[in-house]
Amino acid sequence: MSRKLFSVLLMGVVWTIALNAQNFSAPAKRISVSIDAGKTAPPISPYIYGQFIEHIGDLINRSLWAEMLDDRKFYNNINSKLSPPSPQRGGGGRGGRAAVQWRPIGPDESVVMDRKNPYVGEHTPLVQLAGDSARGIQQAGLALRKGKAYIGRAMLAGSPGAKVTVSLVWGDGPAGRQVVPITAMGASYAKFPLKFTAGADNNNARLEISGTGQGSFHIGAVSLMPADNIHGFRPDTIALLKAQRAGMWRWPGGNYLSAFEWRDAIGDPDKRPPRLDAVRSGFQPNDVGTDEFMTLMDLLGVDPFISVNAGFGDAWSAAQLVEYANGAAATPMGKLRAANGHPAPYKIKWWGIGNEMYGSWQYGRMALSQYVFKHNMFGEAMRKVDPSITLLATGATPDEMSIYGLALPIVGKLIPDYGSPGDWDFGLFTRCFDYIDVMSEHFYSYAGQRFDHSAVKPGAFNRNEYMARVDESLVEWARRPANRVRNKVEAYEEYLQRIPALKTRRIPMAIDEWAYTGGGNTLKGVLANAMVLQEMFRHTDIIKMAGHTMGTGSIDYNATESALNTTGLFFKFYRDHFGSVPVEVGGNSPPPPPLYPVGADQPKVNAGSPTYPVDVTAALTSDGKFLTVAVINANESAQELDLSVTGIALSGKGRMWRMTGDSLSAATGLGRNEVRIVESSLTETPKALTIAPISIEIYEFAKQ
């Protein structure tokens, strides 16, 4: 079918169609779908819609946090020279543009970095005054909107003869700026509030802190935010993410975790030292720490999941963090939390020990034979503080150990045998059983690539040498990340047979970090992500939680605007319309057998429902009043389904929501609105469905 003809069909037929009179061209083979609502599985936890976030550059600091200034506590030197770019900013993605530098007002030598008496961190700018000639610092690159209010603060100290002002500048001349004079500045640092109203739109406005007169003055820290911030967070992005009802957010890492010191990020934000991000080679201001994360969780209406540093960290520090979060105000760390403005314990339930501690890339990584002792030390210390917490171990099934070459130097083969020293999960299950409530699993699948484990390449392992490009149909491309879920389910089925303790206490799985790398934030990428979600729905007896990478990947944003993007729309779509109690789905068309040798990223049985080439799941709503059916059609042609429903009497009334677009590259977000959700009413329970091309459809049938 040509793209032009396909677009005509969609525009002329799809959007005007009635559910009971659909007329897409049917494929040669009709698919039979049988749903038995009397056969239910464990409920879908809201946590399966969870999200993962970590400090990568300014990923958190700009998408969620409202701070407008870079390097507000002066990690870098201040001069007029171009410095190597620092990847502090996150922009609309994970990398982003370099941090904007502070520049001197006046000659470079008028600003020196005082290392003897820093306000915070290693040094603080000291401005040497020169009579009537202004001296100070400035930062450009600020996005202002006319009539909008901005608030902030500056921590300043200086000589009696110093006359200091702070100015927000959006244009030329006196009318293009607002000046706040600093009065009563003394030798000791004091906080001076700032308040401005922008007189014009400007995407390259600047903040100036300057002085005239005699002597000098120090600038300890400075902050500027839109006045409508909510406890320091952006109201626009918070509203979008809250609407997704993600259930859970995991933080603070990720690889960032293993070199993170949680004590650096509590207390007075202006006194928290900026720190080198050893993992990403940038720096972090430490403005968003434990207390701010808990505020974020309250604003989003989701539950927190905090991981502790099992890389460079230690069990005592992890236990202290548990006490800081959950201890009574009379405990040492609880007293510190109360002093920081949070007297009531947070009562955080979900605690992860480490992040990907099996990985050669992880700071503090050690051999499994050593790490099992470390995990148990952490678990014992943390539970001693709060016995009620849920502990998650950092696991890796054989597929994960294979595709990163982690088992190869241990056992001499790419794919480790179950129970061998190269099977990280087996070691944790058998040696840390008492300190594991849930096993954390991660996966990143790679679009258009498979892991070719047919032969070991000579020399040191290089994953790129094993990643084979594949030319595959859309439905197989979309199935690829769901197969990683199936990998882990098959591994857990194997562990159940090999580890007797799991027969008496099943340890569930949390896929608390997952993504389809290269899948794209488009309709095509969403079809694949939906297949991941539905594969998880089929295994709710094992999978209790998930964390999509990244939480902010659900929104498009810049300095002043934001919008729910295609990924965010997809998560909200399922959360709003799909049920929570899975029921049995049968069919006459199982997924095809594997095209490639089993092992690594290829499971024994391909993911999906027995309704190939579409993927179908069904669930009752929690109150049992509705049966919902979700159908993913990752094909560029319509698909005909014969539908039979047993185990529930349906009234015939209901609704259908269809998510699709005019092409696979369709996207929604800032400046784009190409992916649409259209609702239709049902007047009877259909015995046949015609599923639109490249679409996800969710049906809701009312119980009689």
Task: Express each pLDDT in 178-214 by its tens digit.
Answer: 999 999 999 999 999 999 999 999 999 999 999 999 9
206-238 burial: b if 16+ Cβ within 10 Å, else e: bbbbbbbbeebbbbbbbbbbbeebeebbbebbb
- Tokens 């999509």 belong to residue: 548
Q: What are the residues facing 147 on neighbouring strands?
A: none
Residue 157's nearest CA partner among 114, 216, 75 is 216
Residue 280: the pLDDT is 81
| CATH architecture for the domain at 3-43+583-703 | Sandwich (2.60)
The 10 Å Cβ neighbour count of residue 173 is 6
**How far lies 75's CA from each of 113, 182, 276, in Å?**
10, 24, 9
pLDDT band (50, 70, 90) for residue 689: very high
pLDDT band (50, 70, 90) for residue 84: low
> Would strands 543-549 and 51-52 be described as parallel, antiparallel, or unpaired?
parallel
Q: What are the residues facing 628 on neighbouring strands?
A: 619, 700
Q: Where are the domains of the chain?
A: 3-43+583-703, 48-58+230-576, 102-226
Residue 327: the pLDDT is 98
Residue 5: the pLDDT is 35
Kindly tell me if the per-residue pLDDT of 21 is higher than 50: no
- Note the pLDDT tens digit of each residue in 369-382: 999 999 999 999 99
Tokens of 510: 């949390």
- Which three-class secondary structure state does DSSP give residue 359? coil
Q: Can you tell me the mean pLDDT for 18-39?
A: 66
Average pLDDT, the chain: 93
> Would strands 509-517 and 467-469 be described as parallel, antiparallel, or unpaired?
unpaired
What span, in angstroms and rounded, lies between the C-alpha atoms of 600 and 402? 5
Length of the chain measured in residues: 704
Identity of the amino acid at 215: G
- Residue 601 DSSP class: T
| CATH architecture for the domain at 48-58+230-576 | Alpha-Beta Barrel (3.20)
Kindly tell me if the per-residue pLDDT of 87 is higher than 80: no
- Which three-class secondary structure state does DSSP give residue 52? strand
Kindly tell me if the per-residue pLDDT of 312 is higher than 50: yes
- To 5 degrees, how large is the angle CA 276–CA 280–CA 284? 40
How many percent of the chain have pLDDT more than 90?
A: 91
What span, in angstroms and rounded, lies between the C-alpha atoms of 606 and 134? 69
Residue 128: the pLDDT is 98
Q: Can you tell me the mean pLDDT for 17-44?
A: 71
Q: What share of the chain is helix, strand, coil (3-state, %, to 5)?
A: 25, 35, 40
Looking from the CA of 664 toward its CB, the CA atoms found within 13 Å total 17
Helix segments in 327-393, DSSP class H: 332-339, 368-385
Residue 269: the pLDDT is 97
More confident residue, 4 or 479: 479
Q: Can you tell me the mean pLDDT for 276-290?
A: 90
- To 5 degrees, how large is the angle CA 281–CA 567–CA 354? 45
Residue 212: the pLDDT is 98
Q: What DSSP letter does each residue of 447-464 carry, written as one string? A: TTEEE--SSPPSSS--HH
Cβ-Cβ contacts under 8 Å for 378 (sequence gap 6 or more): 308, 310, 315, 318, 353, 354, 435
Cβ-Cβ contacts under 8 Å for 66 (sequence gap 6 or more): 225, 226, 229, 232, 233, 234
Helix (H) / strand (E) element for 571: namely helix 566-577
Q: What are the residues facing 681 on neighbouring strands?
A: 655
Number of H helices, E strands in the chain: 15, 35
For 102-226, CATH gives 2.60.120.260
Identity of the amino acid at 380: E
pLDDT band (50, 70, 90) for residue 19: very low
Q: Is 600 left (phi over 0), alpha (psi -120 to 50) or beta?
A: left
